Structure 1
Amino acid sequence: MKREQTRAFQVGNLTLGGNNHVIIQSMTNTRTKNIEATVKQIQELEDAGCEMVRMAVFDKEDAYAIADIKKQVHIPLVADIHFDYRLALIAIESGIDKIRINPGNIGSIEKVKAVVESCKEHHIPIRIGVNGGSLEKDILEKYGRPTAEGMIESAKKHIDILESLDFHDYCISLKSSDTMLTIEAYTLASETFDCPLHLGVTEAGTKLGGTIKSSLGIGTLLYQGIGNTIRVSLSDHPVEEIKVAKTLLKELGLIKNVPTLVSCPTCGRIQYDLIPVAKEIEDFLNNIHQDITVAIMGCAVNGPGEAKNADIGIAGGVKEGLLIKKGQIIKKVKQEDMVQTLKDEILKMVNS
């Protein structure tokens, strides 16, 4: 898949942009000053495959907590800051890896310059975050409603401030809860700017709706070669965002070491309770970090044929099922032993 070329810069131990891989992000939903809870959640995100995490910095306590949090985690941290430039300065001194702040919203040029100079000194990049739901009043009056052109104009205002201060290590996001507007805005941004793009459909909703909207929005853009880092926004535990992001990137061929689960939608021929089995194996595969395909089939009639492209799988029956490897039936397994047998065989396969 051909990808749009952008500038690149370091964010902690990662390189964002250029020919580098698409980085998976999420955001904590803990209060950042609650160091124990925040560290616990970041570690859960790390284990799930998150590569960069953003934290809300609401006050000085949050900003000062960054130093202790950073000592206990391994992925780059991003400080999400609105309006108060002093919080950005504290976050930078506390060791943050990246700042999310809009230069036009933090006051005088002197305040902006103070943040930019500190970012330069500490080699900290900035993300400019444009949101279709909070565009500047003059832009809304000009266009009458949130539009892709208006979002680009807003981004350019902030970019011009940074570039006037000779600061170029920035990326931008242009998010909306309107999926089609999001696609339009990012497509226009890729034609307008050469900086890395952070993709996301904001306020996408709960797990089902948010997954659909994010897959359509982010997936369409990535398929066009647009985007350098993504966040799937869900009203759910942040780890669920990582599961969706990994599956999306896997299906686009942009990530490796992610298992694929193939499972039967079931029909009247089924003779065992497949759905909880599929869910249990799906949860089990969240801790497997290899490119394997696992099949959960509903019956022994079509199962072996439908699972022929899987590395390993099971096809259920009345009292027993079949264990299948690479399309070949290996053995019969009692129905009550199928799940554990499959788990054992998966572990043997990935550890061999």
Structure 2
Amino acid sequence: MTKVVKIGNVLVGGGNPVAVQSMTNTDTKNVTATVEQIKNLESAGCKIARISVYDEACVESLKAIKSLVKIPIVADVHFDYKIAIGSILAGVDKVRINPGNIGAKWKVEEVARVAKDHGVPIRVGANAGSIDESYIKKFDNPVDALVQSAIDEVNTLESVGFGDIVVAVKSSDPIETIVANEKLSKMTSHPLHIGVTEAGIYEDAIVKSAFALGHLLYEGIGDTIRVSIAGNPVEEIGIAYSILQSVNAFDGPEIIACPTCARTEINVEELAREVKKSLADVRGKIKVAVMGCVVNGLGEAKGADVAVFGTKNGGVIYMDGKMVSTVSREEILPALKNLVLEYLKGEKKFENDKARN
């Protein structure tokens, strides 16, 4: 099990829930736009937000941004160690530095000393595209070069007594990402942040991230995650939670839906999206099926905890494979949510009764 690192009010590592992260794509100097995007990310379920800090003016903006948002803020710093130190002094909750470009060893050590004095964790974020040339020449395998560059940076931080470290090794190649993190997990006990960097546009990013991150999480590797999508970062959050849910690492409703056919009597996609949104604030392990007709609906109702299948006039709702009610289209969402909440309360009561026995 990895160590625990405290990032603002979020604990990562040590068996804590996997924290979903994202990164703003607004100009950090535009405080209003950046704060708005961070709040949108938080509303979507983001637990930690990273922002680019590329010059002194960005450092000044950090103070205002920090005062206006609730979730932890990570300063993403490249090239200039003074910017990293300035970000720490401005009150960020974590600093991300890249071992491929932050500079000489003494600069990293200086950042570590200031971070230690202010209780700010550091994420060592090594990317395949920015490894120092010396590692490329030393290793034939790019994965080994990537991992060793991260480990050497960790060793530098630890050499000055700094231990609040999160490590990330990312590649745009999902297989390299998997192998690199598997190797890294055997070489350090620090929490790991996992993700596929430069994963591409929406559908490509989803496929690459689901493959790599799902694989790693299934192996028990990964304490925080980010799905990198070229576009609106808010879209990353829902995908990240879907990946977590696919490996039973998220305690929320699982929504399944039929692929539809000519027998479908309702708009399944529309209803499934409405159901997912309606249950977004619900916590607990439960499978909810949204089906388009009775052909698969009855069968799925038996496999799901709660199910609805559409009819011309509305829907039929099942719980534990038994029909509960017939409702109109307008009544489906409130009826389904009430049933889900009842089910989870009953499950909790059952667990408590079991515990007493």
Same topology, TM > 0.5:
yes
For residue 300 of structure 1, the aligned residue among 294, 304, 313 is 294
Deviates more, 1:110-119 or 1:43-52: 110-119
2:3 counterpart (4, 7, 13):
7
Measured after TM superposition, the shift of residue 184 of structure 1 is: 0.6
Q: 1:290 & 1:301 partners in 2: Cα distance?
A: 28
In structure 2, C-alpha distance between the alignment counterparts of 1:242 and 1:197, rounded to whole Å: 18
Say if 2:265 is the partner of 1:271.
yes
Pairing 1:249–2:244 present: yes
Matches of 1:185 and 1:296, distance apart in 2: 39
Alpha-carbon distance in 1 for matches of 2:206, 2:257: 19
After TM superposition, give the deviation of residue 332 of structure 1 in Å.
3.2
1:16–1:274: structure 2 CA closer, same or farther, 3 Å change rule? Answer: closer
> Are 1:152 and 2:147 matched, yes or no?
yes
Gaps of 5+ in 2: 343-357
Deviations 1:225-260 (A, max 9, x none): 11111111112322221111112212222221x221
Amino acid aligned to 1:44? N
Residue of structure 1 equivalent to 2:276 = 282
CA offsets per residue over residues 76-130 of structure 1, 9 Å max, x none?
1110000111211221111101000135633344433332221011011111111
Tell me the C-alpha RMSD between the 2 structures: 2.2
1:68 match:
64
1-side partners of 2:296 and 2:278: how far apart? Answer: 25
C-alpha contact (below 8 Å) 1:45/1:239 kept by paired residues: yes
Tell me which residue corresponds to 2:351: none
User: How far 1:293 moved relative to its partner?
Assistant: 3.1
Deviation at 1:214, TM superposition (A): 0.9
Q: CA deviation at 1:45?
A: 1.5
Query: 1:88 — aligned with what?
Result: 84
- For residue 52 of structure 1, the aligned residue among 48, 65, 72 is 48
CA positional deviation for 1:192:
1.5
Is residue 329 of structure 2 the alignment partner of residue 329 of structure 1? no
Distance in 2, Cα, partners of 1:330 & 1:294: 14
- Please say which of residues 278-287 and 196-205 is displaced more in the overlay: 278-287
Contact 2:214 2:246 in 1 (8 A): no
Which one is further off, 129-138 or 74-83? Answer: 129-138
Counterparts in 2 of 1:350 and 1:47: CA distance versus 1, 3 Å: farther
Cα 1:139–1:317 change in 2 (3 A) is same
Deviation, structure 1 residue 350: 5.8
Aligned to 2:222: 227
1:99 aligns with 2:91: no
Note closer, same or farther for the CA distance 1:182–1:109 as it changes in structure 2 (3 Å cut). closer
- Is 1:348 aligned to 2:338, yes or no? yes
Measured after TM superposition, the shift of residue 48 of structure 1 is: 1.6
For 2:184, the equivalent position in structure 1 comes to 189
Is the counterpart of residue 119 in structure 1 residue 109 in structure 2?
Answer: no
Cα distance, 1:15–1:63 mapped onto 2, change above 3 Å: same
Q: TM-score, normalised by structure 2?
A: 0.88
Which amino acid in structure 2 is aligned with residue 348 of structure 1? Answer: N
- Worse overlay, 273-282 or 24-33: 273-282
Tell me whether 1:21 sits opposite 2:17 in the alignment: yes
1:308-327 matches, within 5 Å, as 308-327=302-321
Given the superposition, is the C-alpha separation of residues 192 and 78 from structure 1 closer, same or farther in structure 2, using an over 3 Å criterion? same
Matched position secondary structure for 2:186:
helix
Q: CA deviation at 1:175?
A: 0.3
Q: Secondary structure at the match of 2:241?
A: helix
Gaps in structure 1 of 5+ consecutive residues: none
* 3-state SS of paired residue (2:197): coil
**1:259 paired to 2:249:** no
Query: What TM-score, normalized to structure 1?
Result: 0.89
| Counterparts in 2 of 1:316 and 1:59: CA distance versus 1, 3 Å | same
Structure 2 letter corresponding to 1:12 = G
CA-to-aligned-CA distance 1:36-84 (integer Å, 9 cap, x gap)? 1111111121122111111111111211211211122221111000011
Which deviations, in whole Å up to 9, do the C-alpha atoms of 1:249-278 show, x marking residues without a partner? 12222221x221111111232233323333
Question: Is it true that 1:176 corresponds to 2:166 in the alignment?
Answer: no
The alignment of Structure 1 onto Structure 2 pairs a total of residues equal to 342
Aligned to 1:105, the other structure's residue is in SS state: coil
**In 2 relative to 1, CA 84–341 (structure 1 residues): closer, same or farther, beyond 3 Å?**
same
Deviations 1:269-311 (A, max 9, x none): 2233323333343344445455443321111243123123434
Amino acid at match of 1:125: P
